[in-house]
């Protein structure tokens, strides 16, 4: 009788232990996925800022190039517009 009780006790305690381990692994995996995705989301604002800076520099060069074109200085206009294009390409 005691052997049967011990077998039942150890079977339930070991299966409960394995269930706890499975749950812990699942919980840890979930937490890692949750926080890693939010970490990557934080870089979006940095990328937006970099793009805005490049657009602003290119726009300034474009405006200066257009002004030089209107004033008849086509060499300077081409130089400025090529710089603006290179900023957008990089």
pLDDT of residue 76: 95
Q: 3-state SS of 29-57?
A: HHHHHHHHHHHHHCHHHHHHHHHHHHHHH
pLDDT tens series, the chain, 90 aa: 555 655 555 555 666 667 777 888 888 888 887 776 665 666 788 888 999 999 999 999 999 999 999 999 999 999 999 999 999 898
The structural domains of the chain, with segments of one domain joined by +, span: 1-41, 44-90
The alpha-carbon radius of gyration of the chain (Å, integer) is 33
pLDDT of residue 70: 95
First-residue to last-residue Cα distance in the chain: 80
- Interior CA angle at 69 toward 66 and 75, to 5°? 115
pLDDT of residue 40: 63
pLDDT of residue 19: 77
pLDDT of residue 13: 61
């Amino acid at each position: 009788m005691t052997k049967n009780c011990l077998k039942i006790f150890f079977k339930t305690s070991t299966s409960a232990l394995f269930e706890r381990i499975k749950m812990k692994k699942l919980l840890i995996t979930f937490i890692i996925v949750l926080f890693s995705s939010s970490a990557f989301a934080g870089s979006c604002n940095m990328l937006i800022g970099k793009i805005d800076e490049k657009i602003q520099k290119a726009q300034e060069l474009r405006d200066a190039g257009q002004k030089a074109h209107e004033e008849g200085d086509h060499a300077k206009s081409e130089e400025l517009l090529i710089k603006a294009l290179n900023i957008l390409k990089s």
